[in-house]
Homo-oligomer: A and B are copies of this chain.
Amino acid sequence: MSVFTTVTQDQLSIWLKGYSIGTLIDLQGISSGIENTNYFVTTSHGKYILTLFEKLSFSELPYYLNFMMHLSSHGIPCPSPIKNLENGFLGSLNDKPASLVTYLPGSQIEHPVPEQCGHVGALLAKMHLSSLSFPEKMNNPRGPKWRESIAPKLIPLLPLEDANLLEKELQFQSLYQFKDLPQGVIHADLFRDNILFNNDTIGGVIDFYFACNDSLLYDLAIAANDWCMAKNGKFNDANLLSLLRAYHHIRPLTSGEKNIWPIMLRAGALRFWMSRLYDYHLPREGEITHAKNPAHFKQILQGHLLTQARLSEIWV
């Protein structure tokens, strides 16, 4: 249960007086989510999500909330933060930074089909185009510096095979900076659990708290590594084709992006393999552990390596 900080009906009723969204009707804790406390809030105006930020600070949050507002104002179906009467997106509730955003209907898809991957690709391309005019900047907190900083802590804890694979891939990726590729604000975590579908149409994209400025193609690689992956770390080709085609139709990939694609897929797999290894081997103290299986992304990385090796043979 991801309610780390309890909010009572009475507390929230008072807090809502600082907003223009009516009076409280219902308050329900949300069990998913591992970083923040989330509640469903129903008022006389409608349904909202209340988030109490357990780790992100008042100074870090405006980037994410303003970006959600930016995308929302471009017609991207994403949670739209609600301003309080002091004209801010952020308040304080039980000593935590807190915000309200609009509720989006829909549910996650476990086994996406090509048509759905196409919708995801199109949406991601529109998010990227819309992000180009967002003025604020945030470096990727899971970028190369982060990789280099946690690698020395991880490697001693891994079996030799994994340690070797990780060192080799880190060495390989350190040759690439991707700075010459198109840049913008990326979602950086566009997994299946962060897109809500209503039947076959997208109801919304959620969870922007990994958003940052980075290569747009990296975002597409992260999405492909989840939405288009069959078991055993191999792509479902129909899903992949559909994702890429829909994306490319709206934001055509540059030749530089096309060339680097196989390497970007590896970078995306490496990032999630490393963060999962870290959460698994070095959980933060007192943390309720929801550690996901790191082996999944090791397998994906190995799959990409195999594919690239085969392509190299053909092209030699």
Contact = CB atoms under 8 A, between A and B. Distances in A.
Contacts of A259: none
Contacts of A70: 83
A100 B75 CA distance: 10
A81 B73 CA distance: 7
Interface string A56-91: 000000000000011011111100111111110000
A74 B48 CA distance: 12
Contact of A21 (B48, B75, B85, B133): B75
A301 to B, nearest CB: 32
Contact of A74 (B74, B83, B126): B83
A189 to B, nearest CB: 20
A45 B77 contact: yes
By secondary structure, the A interface counts as loop
Interface string A11-50: 0000000011110000000000000000000000110100
Nearest to A86: B133
State how many copies of this chain the complex holds.
2
A129 interface: yes
A311 interface: no
Nearest to A135: B87
Interface string A110-149: 0000000000001000110110110000000000000000
A85 B20 contact: no
Which interface class (under 10, 10 to 19, 20 to 34, 35 or more) fits A? 20 to 34
A133 B85 contact: yes
Contact of A45 (B19, B72, B73, B75): B75
A126 B85 CA distance: 9
Contacts of A82: 73-75
Given A19-B74, A73-B69, A75-B19, A85 B130 contact: yes
Nearest to A250: B20
Contacts of A19: 74-75
21 contacts: A19-B74, A20-B75, A20-B76, A20-B126, A20-B127, A20-B129, A21-B74, A22-B126, A45-B75, A45-B77, A46-B75, A46-B77, A69-B73, A73-B81, A74-B84, A75-B83, A75-B100, A83-B130, A85-B130, A86-B133, A87-B133
The 6 A-B pairs of least Cβ separation, nearest first, read A87-B133, A21-B75, A20-B126, A75-B82, A20-B74, A73-B83
